């Protein structure tokens, strides 16, 4: 899937999940955030529950990402200089997902980096609530901070499920997820600082002069294995 803007420029590319048969014989139960760009339909196909987070445009009503709102609409609204706010998966959503999960399987929960979102903390809170009503099931909930977001989370989940299908043990799957979260490094190219200014990630003055001078930052993720975003270098063009 390739997202193209009005000028014909590619703004994002994601591999489509091609499996169409629901997985029913997995050894573990899987839960992931919709920010992974996995739709509920794709999640059903590969064998994972996809929990939506919500987005508002200009303080409007909340809508579920990847169910009621998708990336192209978010991008277009950002380009129109509208205020786009996101809210993490709630404690209640995690708790309901835990309750619906099978009683006899480990539950692997892959969440967005806790440096970006409260989703990780909400999952922990939901597990503690579950422990009060079903302590044995709560012991089976394994929450993994991915230390990343978006496409890499999708890749991590797909590979974990493939390992499950191959008969890999729970320990091997968790070791794989922990290896990726600790070892991955992502580079993010920012074409404009305007959206970052609106999200209060950089100061207004820095944004103005950065755009005026044509400076384009490159951000590095997880350089010190802590899930942080840090400035890596500054360039003047896409080339």
Give the tens place of pLDDT for each residue, 42-75.
Answer: 888 888 999 999 999 988 889 999 888 888 888 8
Same domain, 126 and 221: no
Residue where one domain finishes, among candidates 161, 184, 207: 184
Residue 195 has φ and ψ, to the nearest 5°, of -65, -35
User: Do residues 232 and 185 lie in contact, with contact meaning Cβ atoms separated by under 8 Å?
Assistant: no
Same domain, 171 and 211: no
**Higher pLDDT pick, 226 / 133:** 133
Same domain, 152 and 229: no
Residue 39 covered by a domain: yes
| pLDDT mean across residues, the chain | 85
CATH number at residue 49: 3.40.50.10440
**CA 116, CA 74: separation in Å to the nearest integer?**
18
pLDDT score of 199: 57
Same domain, 172 and 205: no
**CA 120, CA 7: separation in Å to the nearest integer?**
37
Same domain, 162 and 207: no
Residue where one domain finishes, among candidates 151, 169, 184: 184
Residue 69 covered by a domain: no
Most confident stretch, 153-157, 169-173, 187-191, 235-239: 169-173
Same domain, 150 and 192: no
Residue 70 covered by a domain: no
Same domain, 131 and 95: yes
Same domain, 164 and 117: yes
Residue 65 covered by a domain: no
User: Do residues 178 and 144 lie in contact, with contact meaning Cβ atoms separated by under 8 Å?
Assistant: yes
Residue 11 covered by a domain: no
pLDDT score of 93: 95
Give the tens place of pLDDT for each residue, 81-106.
Answer: 888 888 999 999 999 999 999 999 99
Residue 19 covered by a domain: no
**CA 160, CA 203: separation in Å to the nearest integer?**
39
Structural domain for 205, as ranges: 187-235
Considering its fold, how many domains does the chain have in total?
Answer: 2
Sign of the torsion angle spanned by Cα atoms 227, 141, 109, 27: positive
Closest CA to 139 of 148, 128, 154, 125: 128
**Higher pLDDT pick, 79 / 135:** 135
Beta strands in the chain (DSSP E): 2-4, 10-13, 29-33, 48-51, 54-57, 63-64, 84-87, 107-111, 141-145, 186-189, 216-221, 229-235
- Residue 24 in this model has a pLDDT that exceeds 70: no
């Amino acid at each position: 899937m390739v997202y193209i803007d009005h000028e014909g420029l590619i703004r994002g590319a994601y591999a489509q999940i091609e499996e169409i048969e629901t997985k029913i014989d997995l050894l573990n139960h899987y839960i992931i955030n919709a920010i992974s760009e996995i739709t509920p339909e794709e999640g059903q196909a590969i064998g994972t529950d996809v929990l939506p987070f919500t987005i508002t445009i200009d303080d409007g009503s909340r809508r579920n990402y990847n169910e009621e709102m998708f990336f192209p609409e978010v991008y277009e609204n950002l380009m129109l200089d509208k205020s786009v706010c996101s809210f993490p998966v709630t404690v209640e959503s995690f708790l309901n997902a835990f309750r619906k999960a099978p009683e006899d399987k480990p539950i692997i929960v892959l969440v967005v980096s806790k440096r970006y979102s409260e989703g990780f903390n909400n999952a922990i809170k939901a597990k503690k609530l579950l422990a009060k009503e079903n302590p044995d099931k709560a012991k089976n909930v394994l929450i993994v901070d991915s230390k990343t977001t978006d496409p890499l989370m999708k890749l991590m989940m797909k590979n974990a499920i493939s390992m499950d299908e191959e008969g890999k043990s729970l320990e091997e799957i968790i070791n794989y997820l922990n290896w990726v979260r600790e070892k991955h490094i992502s580079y993010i190219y920012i074409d404009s600082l305007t959206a970052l200014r609106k999200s209060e990630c950089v100061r207004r003055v820095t944004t103005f002069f950065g755009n005026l001078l044509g400076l384009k930052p490159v951000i590095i993720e997880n350089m010190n294995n802590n899930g942080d975003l840090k400035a890596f270098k500054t360039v003047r063009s896409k080339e």
